[in-house]
Structure 1
Amino acid sequence: MNRFVAFGLLSVTVILAIAACYSHSPTAGNVDIIVASKDFTEQDILGELLAQQIENKTGLKVDRKPRLGGSYVCHQAILAGKIDAYIEYTGTAATVSKLFENQKIPSDPKVLFQQLQQGYAKNFKLAVMPGLGFENTFAIVIRGDEAKRYNLQTLSQAAQYTPQWRAGFGYEFSERQDGLPGLAKTYNLTFAKPPQIMDLGLIYRALLQKQIDLTAGNSTDGQIARLGFVVLQDDKRYFPPYEAVPIVREETLKRYPTLAPAIAGLKNLITADEMRRLNYAVEGELRDVKEVVREFLQSRQAVTQGSEQLVPGSY
């Protein structure tokens, strides 16, 4: 696809997705807050987690906008005031916001978080809130038999074989600043033919069926280990940190004083292993997202209450 045509299609997608929110203003009807999520399973879960946490802790009425679109769509929607909050990843936030355009995104998670907080507040009137406790970085994935055959553990090692391999990636990874162009340059990656642009829901199936030999997934995908795939180590540390953080409109936080403490209650709530299990429960076991999130929150509440009983005076 021609790059300019692709960009035009992305722009149209962004406009249409944001326009779909226009009749659902947070102040319209009985809705207080609009929570959106991006277009993959983990985001379904995180959007529902944020929505249930707000409902449980504040009593506010939340309208959900699942699968609103990719990172650029959600960023533009919250800037336009058509959604109030969503969960983003720090490295992705740095990319879509263009706060670090023409400069390297900080590799220190704390430095990146602090600079995002300052930049989002100053430039967008958006609050970057404390992280959920896990990172979901890009995972460059190959089949386990290939990794074993060539004794591959790192991207540097794999680079000598990629000229004979076929690759497939999601559109966003193929185009974004922290995606394929920079990765290919860093590791001198070339492929047997131009990489296929694929729907994210198809990449692992294509890899399993040997239609492609390498792809970019997410490190918290529950399917990677279960399908016998191997994640190649980013030994040159190309990728920035990708800690999951809530992004919220400052105006909305001011309107509802109970909202900030409720969302802050998600701080360090989920480990990467727990996120993988939640992803697999929805994607592998085909369980209902709302039910999976409800059970998780209840289990975490039980653990917290148990800890408080064991530590008198912890308040």
Structure 2
Amino acid sequence: MKQKIFLVLCLLVLTLTLAIGSCTPKVSNNRADIVIGAKDFTEQEILAEILAQQIETETNLKVDRRFRLGFTYVCHKALLAGQIDAYVEYTGTAFTGVLKQKPISNPKIVYQRLQQAYAKQFELEVMPSLGFENTFAIIIRGKDARDLNIQTLSQAIKYTPQWRGGFGYEFLEREDGFPGLAKTYNLQFAKSPRVMDLGLMYRALIQKQVDMVAGNSTDGQIARLDLVVLKDDKHYFPPYEAVPIVRSATLKKYPQLRQAIQQLDGLISADEMRKLNYLVEGELRDVKDVVREFLEIKMRLGSVPSDKITTSY
């Protein structure tokens, strides 16, 4: 008898729950229309935020941000799987790292071949360049460069057998990274290069734990820390223009997205990118605030005077 009463009570509770649920207004689905991704370093976060804010300003699309995803391959796979809709890549990285092609120094040829291959193989569209190139930069301490009168990679080869290198995992593994660089310049170190996190390399260089690192030419800390970028006098590194890569299906679904991203064509100079990086890394400013102020000035003036890219713009 008690079991029957218990079952009746359960049925009553269930009936009331369903009745209340049917009378409760449904919450609107706030899922984002576009998901923007980024690799795991500051410049990528800035560029992804520029994409996101541009889309939010110029369209009615809702944007979700998924930053600090990891290396190139992680972002590329996320695009193919539809987990993100767009991210900013560098042409030389995509050409050699994703397509597994031999490095080419002509930026126009690299862009054209990349655009064709990505459309055919992956159904991804390579959009116009954001306006700057972020190439690999082989960096040493400024004092060493001055004391030894070193300006180029070829000049540094005389001293590297007594030095130790520190490089990121991706640079050590990539076709356009350390293996090819070492072969081109006959680069040798006292010990095997240390595998280092990108965020720790400059500190290790300053503290003399290593003597040569591979950074990025638009790093904001290079001048601040008195570091010197050695000239690639044998032109080993391919072009690395920053380009948004977007899923073709997403562009087809949201036609307004194309025009919004195309408005960013040529928007950022290398000098501006270095200063934006410094504001975030050196001044510890919020990425969203830095990007919003930069875009406001850029869209209003057409260019950003160097004295405007400060802590207060």
Question: Which category describes the TM-score, using the shorter chain as reference length?
Answer: 0.7 to 0.9
Report the alpha carbon displacement of residue 275 of structure 1 after superposing the two structures with TM: 0.2
Q: Which amino acid is 2:99 matched to?
A: K
Map of 1:81 onto structure 2: 82
1:141 equivalenced with 2:160 (yes/no): no
Shift of 1:86: 0.1
Partner of 1:198: 196
Q: Cα distance, 1:99 vs. partner? A: 4.9
**2:131 counterpart of 1:130:** no
Residue pairs, 1:266-285, within 5 angstroms:
266-285=264-283
Q: Which residue of 2 aligns with 1:31?
A: 32
Matches within 5 A, 1:1-315: 29-100=30-101, 104-304=102-302
Tell me which amino acid in the other structure corresponds to 1:74.
Answer: C
1:103-130 CA distance string (max 9 Å, x none): x322111111111111100111000000
Q: Partners of 1:146 and 1:59 in 2: how far apart?
A: 53
- Cα distance between partner residues in 2 of 1:170 and 1:59: 39
Identity of aligned residues (%): 68
- Give, as a single letter, the amino acid of the residue that structure 2 aligns with 1:251: A
Post-superposition shift, 1:96?
Answer: 2.7
Residues 108, 241 of structure 1: 8 Å contact kept:
yes
SS in 2 for 1:52: helix
Aligned-pair RMSD on alpha carbons? 1.1
Shift of 1:174: 0.8
Amino acid at match of 2:45: D
1:75 and 1:96 in contact (8 A); partners too: no
CA contact (8 A) 1:169 1:195 kept: yes
Which amino acid letter does the alignment assign opposite residue 212 of structure 1?
V
Equivalent position amino acid for 2:56 in 1? E
Aligned length: 275
Letter aligned with residue 220 of structure 1: T
After superposition, what is the alpha-carbon deviation per residue over 1:177-211, rounded to whole angstroms, capped at 9, x for unaligned?
Answer: 11001100110011011111011000000000111
Cα deviation digits, residues 135-168 of structure 1 (max 9, x gap) = 0000000001111111101101101110000110
CA distance in 2, matches of 1:130, 1:249: 14
CA contact (8 A) 2:100 2:175 kept: no
Greater Rg by CA: 2
Q: Whole-Å Cα distance in 2 between the matches of residues 236 and 79 of structure 1?
A: 35
Q: How far is 1:98 from its partner?
A: 2.0
Cα distance in 2 for residues equivalent to 1:148 and 1:281: 27
Contact 1:99 1:119 in 2 (8 A): no
Output the CA distance in 2 between the equivalents of 1:178 and 1:197.
17
- Secondary structure in structure 1 of the residue aligned to 2:280: helix
| TM-score (normalizing by structure 2) | 0.86
Give the SS at the match of 2:67. strand
Q: Determine helix, strand or coil for the equivalent of 1:282.
A: helix
**Are 2:136 and 2:216, in contact at CA under 8 Å, matched by a contact in 1?**
yes
Match of 1:16 in 2: none
CA deviation after TM superposition for structure 1 residue 226, in Å: 1.1
Does the Cα contact within 8 Å between 2:160 and 2:188 map onto a contact in 1?
yes
Specify the code of the residue in structure 1 equivalent to 2:110. L
1:29 is displaced (CA, Å) by 4.6
Counterparts of 1:93 and 1:216, CA distance in 2: 18
